[in-house]
Amino acid sequence: MDKRQIKATVTRLLNSVDIKTEEEQAKIIDYIAAFKSAALEPLSRALVDGASFRKRMVAAICLGKIKHPKGIEPLMHALTDPSVNVQRVAADALVSIGKAAVPLLVKGLEHEDIRVRKWCAYILGKIGSKDAVQPLIKRLEKEPPDLQRTIITALGQIGSKRALPILLSLFKTSSNVEIQKHAAEALGMVGDKRAVAALIEGLESTSYEVRKASSEALVQIGGDAVVSLTKALKHPQQFVRNAAAKALGELRDRRAVKGLIMALKDRNVRVRQSAVQALGYIGDKRAFSQLSRLLRDPNHEVRFSAVKALIKVGGPMASSLLRKALNDADWLVRLTAAQGLGQLKDAKAVELLCKALGDTEWSVRYHAAKALGEIRDKRSSLPLIQLVFDEHPQVRQAAVEALGEIGDERALDALRYAASFDIPEIREAAKVAISKILRPREHLRLPRRVK
């Protein structure tokens, strides 16, 4: 095809998109994009003058796929399109073109139309060119809050340390909570340790959103924030201590272990619980002794978190404690203990787990059955056979599956009966369990090969 034929073909295809399905439009886009620079003229014309928004959208998408610098100007024009959808795909196309579009996008920051200025800031952030940092900073004080937030996010995405002073200033001095929040997020993206002190102060904010953004930013900064976050575990305000403990848990840095162990004695329940969870995430055995003491904590949520943490921190060392936790007054603690004993495959817990099959809370019975299936000890077969007839369907299914894992032939009659239950999932589980039990027997019946 020569250039004239290509132009005619592209124009014809663009004129047809209004009556095409999305799938057909996608094929048209790929077909046109394959013409590359030869398709630029009809695509640019359609984007600027196209009668329908679908035609303009397809033209913008094609220009983004072709990624030719000559597509930049018509795409910039499309940022003022009456259709927001066309604006959006034009912005995406400019992001695809990348660095070649930066000079015109920087110029667009001065455009009289606020929509264009906002789109330009957004696109520059996505492209991530450091050439845009100073022009973006220059526009900050001149723009309304909505556009300021877009610029702040763009500076964070670019990640240049040149933006640090202005971001810190906005974070510390702005009376607008949304500006503070966006500044905190941007500081996290920049990732400079010089922001740590300000972000620690941000944990004291009366705004939950600012506190949350500050905490997440500290986690993004990473190891450079650990010492300051550990010190914050002694802050007079409980929500600061709580946020610090949670952030340290996400960072999983062993330098925080001693501070978190001290926080296990915090007077606030939430702080204790967050410290327990953090120590569980870190998994340092130094915390084992202190965590074990929290199984006697008066708050059931702390005990629950302690059981979970002990499984991660102690491994097999936690078995005896988990066995005791099966008798806890709170069902969630008992459930978690059963899960842990199953994970650890603790054969010493079989008798206690069989007893837990009679728990008043169905979810404890369910997880006790699952744990026994993981341990695979035939001493649990008869209690599990009785559980096949439990009132709760999920418990019945867990018992059936556990019996299949254990492989005890004494369970076959109960499993055959379960295979006739009304619930399809239980019927299928029973058939699978029967197959597992019979499979070794069938293997034994196979005739021996003659050598």
Per-residue pLDDT of 353-369, as tens digits, reads 999 999 999 999 999 99
Q: Could you confirm whether domain 1-108 is CATH 1.25.10.10? A: yes
Supply the DSSP string of 294-351, one letter for each residue. GGG-SSHHHHHHHHHHHHHHHGGGGHHHHHHHTT-SSHHHHHHHHHHHHHHT-GGGHH
The percent helix, strand, coil of the chain (3-state, each to 5) is 80, 0, 20
- Separation between Cα atoms, residue 94 and residue 83, nearest integer Å: 17
Helix ranges (DSSP H) in 70-222: 72-77, 84-97, 102-108, 114-127, 133-140, 145-158, 164-173, 177-190, 196-202, 208-221
Residue 93 has pLDDT above 60, yes or no: yes
Helix (H) or strand (E) holding 392: none
Distances (CA, A) of 425 to 232, 374, 384, 404, 415: 50, 20, 18, 14, 13
pLDDT confidence of residue 288: 95
Q: How does the average pLDDT of the chain come out, rounded?
A: 95
Mean pLDDT, residues 47-56: 93
Please state the φ and ψ torsions of residue 324, each to the nearest 5 degrees: -65, -35
What are 430's two structure tokens? 């029973």
What are 427's two structure tokens? 């019927």
**Residue ranges of the domains in the chain?**
1-108
Q: Is 94 exposed, middle or buried (0-12, 13-18, 19+ CB in 10 A)?
A: buried
CB 33 within 8 A of CB 42: no
Tell me which DSSP letter residue 52 carries: S
Residue 448 has pLDDT above 60, yes or no: no
Least confident of 43-52, 135-144, 278-287, 436-445: 436-445
What are 258's two structure tokens? 């001693």
Supply the DSSP string of 418-450, one letter for each residue. HTTSS-HHHHHHHHHHHHHHHHHHHHHHSPPPP
Mean pLDDT, residues 112-127: 97
Q: How many CA atoms lie within 13 A of 154 on its CB side?
A: 32
Per-residue pLDDT of 179-221, as tens digits, reads 999 999 999 999 999 999 999 999 999 999 999 999 999 999 9
Per-residue pLDDT of 419-434, as tens digits, reads 999 999 999 999 999 9
